[in-house]
Amino acid sequence: MSAGGRDQQRNTSGSAGDEPDSPDSHHNPHTQNGNADDIEPGMAVETREGDLGESDVSTARVKDVERNEAGDVTNVVVEKGVVFRKTLEVPAERIEIVEAGNTPADLSAPADDSGENAPATESDEGKVVLNTTKQEIRYLSATGSETLTSQQPRDAKGNPQGGRRNGKPESSPAKGDAASKNVEPGDFLRTLGPGVLSGMAGNDSSAVTSYSVNGATNGYGQLWLLLLATPLYQAVQYACAKIGRVTQRGLSDILREHYGQKIAVPASLILVVANTALIAADLVAIGTGIQLLTGIAWEWFVVPVAVGLWYLIVYQSFAIIKKIFLAMSLVFVAYLITGVVSGAHWGDVLRATFIPHLSLGFASISSAVALLGATVSPYTMYWQVQGEKEQKRPGTRKQQFKLAALDIAVGTIAGNLVAYAIIVCTAATLFTHRKEIQTAADAAAALAPLLGPYAEQLFAIGFIGSGMIAIPVLLASTSYGLSGLFGWSASLWKKPWQSEGFYLIMTGALMVSLVVALLRFDPIQLMFWANVLQGILSPVLIIFLLLVGNNRKIMRSYRLGPITNAGLVLIALVMAAATLLLFYGLLSGGGA
């Protein structure tokens, strides 16, 4: 696929087949405010409709002004982005507003009634507003240079496409609000996305390792925790989805706006550190899985995998990315197969599932913390809030909530079924035969003499796929967390030049994780401390979900219901208690 994978259409670009301009087409237009002659290089550029990344780290600016022999402006060259650069040639006819910038003489503000001079304002370079539509901006490519047509694209009735009729915006629901279209049976399948991906991404390499070690160490003893965690995880993710849908803000933005930087900054920094460690561990896991299948050292695969995932995330449309990773979720069937053929005693499995068994030993507590931390992760919370904010769903607001709940339920149940199968498989084989393991790769290798070579290959395929799905979600949630602190635009649906800060953060996080992976840091230690950090952050974030979700000012009439609130309180208490017990064990030497 080429870098134009985000180019869904090119109908905004001029071509050799366009009709020739009329003799007076290149006149010097008088805009709504100002004159095209006032345009100078360096002026900021915005659009009447569409998004050039006005809230991004970089600003779209006039790079060059082209004039004819008479000195009239014919085209304006606009450039956006520093690393992810986009150049757009705009005919003068598409310039709607020109606001000249402050000159040095303008900086002396007139005296007020008291005779005192008002404070001078900072100078600016001025602003140009383009007459564009959302549709034509959306169809611009991810890279390269393009030229807007001299007239807006029009539909069959002669109306400008993209939401403007006779120069006025058409009335339409805001993003995330109720749509005019009624919900149809096929809408559920079409809107599967954030919930399923978060459920599947939760089974990354650290989670698979936690489940494998849990089964090999505790047997079936903690299967009941998975049963408990399933509805509680559903409550957490549904609260995230509802908050994202109602507020149309990311989680980091919400924390910053309503609770200040003192809350938002530590939360985002903990998220970044934990995610970086998990991404490094996932890269090693993918390479190790390929090594098990090919016999070639894992180091050879880490860089190509990282580069391939980076290219896919940055330059391909999120609609394509979503389909690819939803299809890749089928690799988790490998874990279900190994669970079924493991020879488990299903009577014992069912008893352990429905009858809680508590142990206060350090090993048991640390396994429980790892299990809960792998199930309820901060990065899936950041992902779900943002994902629901951007996911288009039909119907009324209540219907949108139901579709979101079903989306999340599919991801939660499917993800925890995979976790259940891994624990059952390793408990029935490795725990029964008293085989100790430290990683999922150890589990895969240990399964071969017990269940045959296909078990090892299935297990290896499973955690290759799990890492491939988890890394994009981890990278995106990392960037959501930091972009929200700075108030930058953050969206996988936007081109890299539209949300340059967002994609630069993702690129930097992946590079750091790649270096950590290649420096051969112990992946077990990386995953352990990442889970500890997640154990600290998760209950804190859940408390803020409770506060935000029940704030009438923020949520208006869509506050969280009593069942969701009860689930949030319970999971916060369980995770906080388990984390405190883990730290007590560490400080008292129980983990030595």
Q: What's the one-letter identity of residue 337?
A: I
Residues 440, 285: contact at Cβ < 8 Å? yes
b/e 24-51 (16+ beta carbons within 10 angstroms → b)? eebbebebeebebebbeeebbbbbbbbb
* Residue 422 token pair: 């891994």
pLDDT in tens, the chain (592 residues): 445 455 443 344 443 344 444 434 444 554 554 577 788 899 999 998 888 988 899 999 999 999 998 888 999 999 999 999 999 999 998 999 898 876 554 444 454 554 454 444 444 678 999 999 888 888 899 888 999 988 766 555 555 554 443 444 443 344 444 444 565 655 556 667 788 888 888 788 778 887 888 888 889 988 998 898 899 999 999 999 999 999 999 999 999 999 899 999 999 998 998 899 889 988 988 998 898 888 898 899 999 999 999 999 999 887 788 788 777 777 778 778 878 877 888 999 999 999 988 776 666 777 777 777 677 889 999 999 998 998 888 888 999 999 999 999 999 998 899 889 889 988 888 888 887 777 667 777 777 766 677 777 877 888 788 888 889 999 999 999 999 999 898 988 899 999 999 999 999 999 999 999 999 877 777 777 777 777 788 888 999 999 999 999 999 999 999 999 999 999 998 888 877 877 776 677 655 4
Distance CA(582)–CA(592), nearest Å, equals 12
Q: Tell me 18's DSSP state.
A: S
Per-position DSSP letters for 331-400, written without gaps between them: GGHHHHHHHHTT---HHHHHHHHHS-----SHHHHHHHHHHHHHHS-HHHHHHHHHHHHH----S-HHHH
What is the CB-side half-sphere exposure of residue 93 using CA atoms within 13 A?
Answer: 12
What value does the CA radius of gyration of the chain take, rounded to a whole number of Å? Answer: 27
The structural domains of the chain, with segments of one domain joined by +, span 3-12+22-103+123-163, 187-587
What is the value of pTM for the model shown?
0.81
Tell me, which fold does domain 187-587 have in CATH? Amino acid/polyamine transporter I (1.20.1740)
Residues 92, 28: contact at Cβ < 8 Å? yes
Look-up of token digits 């405010």 = 33
